[in-house]
Structure 1
């Protein structure tokens, strides 16, 4: 058992063998035991077997989990993926930001081989995305394939706010120049206002 005390979801803890078994807060995959939650690693001795568990500390750490809807800021785009910083989980602002990656094939549900990332996102965009199953520690894989997910807030190349005019375009409120985006289908106005209020400090 490695000298590991604090762990995040998806972090590999040790080998699964005859003397090391998976317990609460962990799961097994391909011969290893992984953490399923954020917390402190605890080893429970039962006869000759060590049961590996992860328990929550007294002060709960909020981290993204599989299926969560998160709000993130796009930082880098390439031809194959989008890198971003996760700043909210649901309606909760995070004190610590988490790294997220959105692969090209996870941007839309259809025509995945025809997607051009620069026509979907730009650095600085605020997006809504869903957390996918964790495959790598410390990096969260995201998806915007659902209609309700995608760009929620964006600014034009000149720094002016943009508004959606379709599900694939946004328009600058000052210059009226149109730019392509994968626009989130945010129907209730309250949801959009909540996002704007929560992230206003990042968009000053």
Structure 2
């Protein structure tokens, strides 16, 4: 194992062609780059000798106790806080089965509410402040600390 290096969310950890994303890391589908999803120590773990995939795993281990962190593909439970014409804002309460300790805000876009007749979606009829939704994280916009997610049944 290699010496640990301190990283913060959004830092590039490597390329998916050369490394596998482990805990605290995710692969951005648009550029196949691996990013840190939390602040902590970056470690490269060699693959098991009997593994078919011989790429090392990069992971980030939090330097302090922290709760789960949403990343693309995570299923979240969120409470709607504000509804606008084309978006709804929500506070994320749980990532998978675990409640979050930090504040994460998400945005549900009109075009992500359903697959067909997107232009007919009325956000004010679909959501109300206080509604609880189950959603999948689509992407993370680190510069504004917002998550985009799609509601799921």
Report the TM range for the smaller structure's normalisation.
0.5 to 0.7
Structure whose alpha-carbon radius of gyration is higher: 1
TM-score normalized by structure 1? Answer: 0.50
Per-residue CA deviation, residues 125-181 of structure 1 (Å, 9 max, x unaligned), is 1111111133x112111101x4x1xxxxxxxxxxxxxxxxxxxxxxxxxxxxxxxxx
CA distance in structure 2 between the aligned counterparts of 1:87 and 1:108, rounded to whole angstroms: 22
* Unaligned stretches of 5+ residues in structure 1: 45-52, 149-204
Higher fraction of helix: 1
TM-score by length of 2: 0.65
The number of residues matched between the two structures is 128
Listed as ranges, the gaps of 5+ residues in structure 2 are: 1-5, 45-57
The reply on whether 1:108 has 2:114 as its aligned counterpart is yes
Q: Deviations over 1:64-107 (max 9, x none)?
A: 12222111011111111111100011221122231101100001
Q: Is the 8 A contact 1:105 1:112 kept in 2?
A: yes
**For 1:109, what is the secondary structure of its paired residue?**
coil
Runs (4 or more) in structure 1 with deviation over 3 Å come to 21-31, 41-44, 58-61
By how many angstroms is 1:40 displaced? 2.5
1:57 alignment partner in structure 2? 62
Deviation at 1:38, TM superposition (A): 2.1
Bigger RCO (CA 8 Å, 6+ sep): 2
Alignment of 1:75-86 (within 5 A): 75-86=81-92
Q: Cα RMSD over matched residues?
A: 3.3
